[in-house]
Every structure is written in C-alpha cells, then in structure tokens.
Amino acid sequence: MFQHFLLVASRNLFKRKFYSLINILGLAIGMTCCIVIGLYVQNELSFDRYHVKHERIYRVLQTFRSTSPGQKLNVPSPKDFQVWGCAPVGPALKTDFAQEAGDKRMQQENIVAIDSNAFKLFSWKLLQGDPRTALAAPNSIVLTQQVAEKFFGNTNIVGKTMRVNNGDNLIVTGVVANVPPNSQITFNGLLSMSTIRKSAPDMFTWWGYVDFYTYFLLKDHADITAMTAAIPAFLQRHNPNDTGYTMAFEPMDDAYLHSKAARQPGPVGSMLNIYLFSCVGFIILLIACVNFMNLSTARSLERAKEVGVRKVLGVSPWALRRQFLFESFILALVAAIIALVISKFSLPFVSDLSGKNFSPNRFISGQLVLWMGLLVLITGLLAGAYPAWFLSRFRPVAVLKGAVKPSGSSLSLRKGLVVFQFALSVALIAGTIIVNNELQYLKRHDLGFKKEQVLVINFEGDDQVTRNIEAIKQSIAGQPGVSSVAASRAVPGEFLPNAGTSIQGADGNMVQKIPLIYEIDFDFLSCLDIPVIAGRGYSRAFPADSTQSMIINESAAKL
C-alpha cells in the first residue's frame, strides 16, 4: 500500500511540475521562517538551563525604601528599585584588567570576581585545575579556554603568573571551558573573591553596599516559600537598623525572561518577544498552508476523472483521502528538506540580525529532527486535510459524465480561504511596517546628546589613568581627526551602583531621590553637544565647579 501511494504521488508531482514547485516553495518559505523563529525561541528558553542544578539555584533581590531623614548620599536606587543582594556569594564586581603573560600585554575585559563555591553551584566545565581550590586563595584567577589560548597559546597553564594593571600578580589556578552563549552570566576570567576581600574588606560587612550578586543552591526538598516567609526575621537579626531594606528570592530559571530586577549580570530576554515571534511564525506557516489548500481545490476539476475512475474500480473514499494526504505529506517533507538547507545557510545573517549566536556547525540535532517531523506532520494535515476531503466527495457517475461543477459551499469556502489568506498577509505586512517605523523612530529620536562620531575608551579600574587623565586627554586631542576630548565616570544611559543622592523635600524629609549621578569634567557637555537650558555649564574659570557644583536635568528640576 505504501509503495502504491508513493508511486501515485510521485507521478502526480512530476506530471504537474509547475504546480508542485509553487506549492513546495510556498511551504518551504513558511517552514524556513518557522525553523529560524523556533531556533530563536529555543535559544531564549534555554538560557542557564545547561547548569545541572538550575532548578535549585536562586538569587537574592533587594529593595530600598529610604526612611532615614538624615540620609543624603549613596542612595543606590529610587523607591522599589531592585538590585542584587549584598553578600558576596555569586558572580560580582565586574572589572577590567590589563594583563601581562610573558612578553604579551593585552587588555582583557569581563573578569568576574566570584566566591570559591562557584563550581558547586554552576556547571562550568573546568579543563585544568581543582574545582575545590581554584578560587580559594587570594590572587587566584581561572581563565576561559579562549583567553588562555590568547595569552599563553595553550590551556596547560596552571601555576602561570599574570600581572594586572595595578601591579599585583595573579596565579592561574584553572582553565574553564568557554561559557555557552545561552548563559546570562558571561565572563572571560574568574577572579577569587578573596582577592577583593583582601583589598576592600569593609564592603563585605556593609549591608548598604550593592555591588554584588548573590546566588544560593537550595537543598533537595527544601521549601523556598518557608524561606521567603522567614526573610523579615532574618533581616531583623542581621540588619535591624535599616527598616527600608527588604529582600526576595528569584529562581535562576526566571532570571533571563521573567526577572523584574533593574540591574542584571548579563543580557535579559522578553517573553513578549517570544510570544510575538511565535505568532508571526505560525501566521506565516498558516498563510503557506492556506495557499496550498487554495491551489489544490482550484485544480480539483483536473483530478475529478481520476477520482471517478478510482471509485468505479472500488477505491473507498477513505483510501482516496489517505492518498491525497500522503501527497501532502510528501510535499511537506520535500519542503522541509529545502527549508533546512535555507535555514542553515541563513544562520550567519540571522545571528548578525538578532545578536544571538546560531552556529551552523551545531544546527542538526536530535531535537531539531524531532521538531521537523512534527512540523511536517502539522503542515501536511493543515494543508492536505481539506483538499483530501473535498476531492474524495466527487460522485463517480457525475464525474464520468463530465457534469461535475463546484458547489456553492465549496466556492464560498474557497473565497473565504482567499480572503483569510489576504487578511493574514495584510496584517503581517502592516505589522512589519509598524515595527520598522518604530525602529526608525528610535534611531532618529533626539536623545539629548550627540552620539555620532563619538568614540568611547574604557579605562575602568586603572588608577594610573585617573591620576593622569588631563595628560591623556591632551595626547588624544593632538591626534589628527580628533575635535574634542572629555572624561566621565560613565556614558549616558549607563547604570552605576551607589551613584545617587536624596534631596530635601518641602517638609524637610529626605524622601525624593536622584538615582544616578555621573562625575564629568569641564569638556563633557560641549563634547557631546548637551545643551544647557538654564544657568551655565562647568567652567575652569570657577574653581568651585570642581568640588561644590551639580548640573541636573529637567526631570530632576521638577522634583
């Protein structure tokens, strides 16, 4: 029976080559969109799931509500602004190091200071070194495989020494495999937290310092609800004087897509994007299936005699329906193969467009084959169910007499399918135009400063640069093509911890806060072409501008 179905289906496909080509290409385009969108959705949903214990890993959120009338500085956030916990259990204190290895001197970013228990929580594969001791001692560092090969040419480097820009020596105690792209916590190296504790011990006992991320592993069968209920008592024991501080626990599985915290250790996703892209993929596939149904029913009269002869020979309607459905599955299977080829070669473009890392080398997997089988099944049923039912209803006597005419109900359904397909296409095109217009608006919108032709050089953590900033500015300003140079603690839009202040309200209480303050030099406003609408900018002619002055924006002026 299968061989017979396959033979008949092959004959029909090759007999009507143009029709088959249109249907296959239509389905292939729809499937390609579904595959690409499916890869994106799978990538988003898989963030941090590579950790073996991800279901039991939680992190600490904290909320500040200032209640102290005398509090003036170092208010890290406005009301209900969530950041991470204070205890240094998880990845924290991101910093940049300029490092030396032998005769090489390079700038390496994204070095994360982390507790010695890191490898007990997170499933980072240690290629060299002992996970129990790699991050225990001060001045210890674990490098990723990529960075180890960059500095030393190989990964067999345990015991090697690296000199950082402040003159300290770091001992390489391990090499970890490169972090997967679907990880919110990304790094090029792991610095032992005891290194930071040695140089700044006070921050580890100050509950108001918020430059850390705290993760913890829940015991088997432990109740996170009971732990959450015990938070008030916990804070009363350890931090009784700060009544404006509270905590919450968030599952690591929710960190990427569902977190409400404003400060994150890495990228964050959006469930709204997943829903939108999933709907778009389904609509595109539905349009392709409706197009298949329209073409199949439109040429139904061409196959009417075939149906009539088969029924005269004793073929049942169910056998005919199976035959037509089988043809639909064959078309869907061929379209799926073409869609896989197109998807694989389009992955580099999709990666550049989305900012995600979709590697063609890891494209084919058992999970993808399973999903493709399901996609072929769904597409074959959606596209072939109605044509199979419609064609199998022809009466053999009327067919052989040539008296077959489309009924009013079939014509109405075909017209309805055409209108439905057209409406979906218009909605999809309109949505694309609206989204594109919104993106263009964001690109053209005036941000209040000039960002074109501006180059940012990050000297974070380099004390020598801070001490010699004016000389460095003069050196850069002397380069051809440089029109102006300025220095600041951050660039517009960048979040800084502990960089806010409170202001005194009309009732004398310090309740209204400015959450973010940047330290800038005299040339910052003119360099970024930021207009001063009232008063004046900083000037070297006024010595007090260096120590006792502040420029606020319009929103702060309304407080």
Q: b vs e for 281-311, b when ≥16 Cβ sit within 10 Å of the residue's Cβ?
A: bebbbbbbbbbbbbebbeebeebbebbbebb
Q: What is the DSSP code string of 394-440?
A: --HHHHHTT-----HHHHHHHHHHHHHHHHHHHHHHHHHHHHHHHHH
Quick: pLDDT tens for 208-220. Answer: 666 678 888 888 8
**According to the model, what pLDDT value does residue 82 have?**
42
Local structure of 107: helix, strand or coil: strand
CA distance 538 to 540: 7
Kindly report the number of other CB atoms within 10 A of residue 96's CB atom.
18
Q: What per-residue confidence (pLDDT) applies to 108? A: 58
Q: Where are the beta strands (DSSP E) in 53-137?
A: 57-64, 82-84, 92-101, 104-114, 126-128
The answer to whether the predicted template modeling score (pTM) of the entire model surpasses 0.85 is no
Point out which residues pair with 57 in neighbouring strands. Answer: 217
3-class DSSP assignment, residue 240:
coil
Residue type, 56: R
215 burial (CB, 10 Å; 0-12 / 13-18 / 19+) is: buried
Query: What is the structure's pLDDT at 244?
Result: 62
Distances (CA, A) of 189 to 99, 145, 175, 288: 12, 9, 9, 48
User: Residue 260 in contact with residue 62, Cβ under 8 Å?
Assistant: no
pLDDT above 90: percentage of residues in the chain: 9
User: Within the chain, what is the greatest distance between any pair of CA atoms?
Assistant: 105
> Residue 149 contacts by C-beta under 8 Å, 6 or more apart in sequence?
155
Rounded-to-integer distance, Cα 549 and Cα 527, Å = 19
- pLDDT computed for residue 519 by the predictor: 84
343-348 contacts, C-beta under 8 A, 24 or more apart: 343/32, 343/35, 343/36, 343/39, 346/32, 346/36, 347/39
pLDDT digits (tens, 9 = 90+) for 173-209: 999 999 988 898 888 999 998 888 887 777 777 766 6
Count of Cβ atoms closer than 10 Å to residue 186 Cβ: 17
Give the separation between CA 450 and CA 483, rounded to whole angstroms. 13
Residue recorded with tokens 């988003």: 44
Residues of the chain predicted below pLDDT 50: 66-106
Distance of CA 307 to CAs 3, 8, 248, 327, Å? 19, 13, 68, 14
239-260 exposure pattern, b = at least 16 Cβ within 10 A, e = fewer: eeebeebbbbbbbbbebbbebe
Q: Report d(CA 453, CA 92) in Å as an integer.
A: 33
In sequence order, the 6+-apart residues with CB closer than 8 A to the CB of 537 are 522, 525, 526, 551
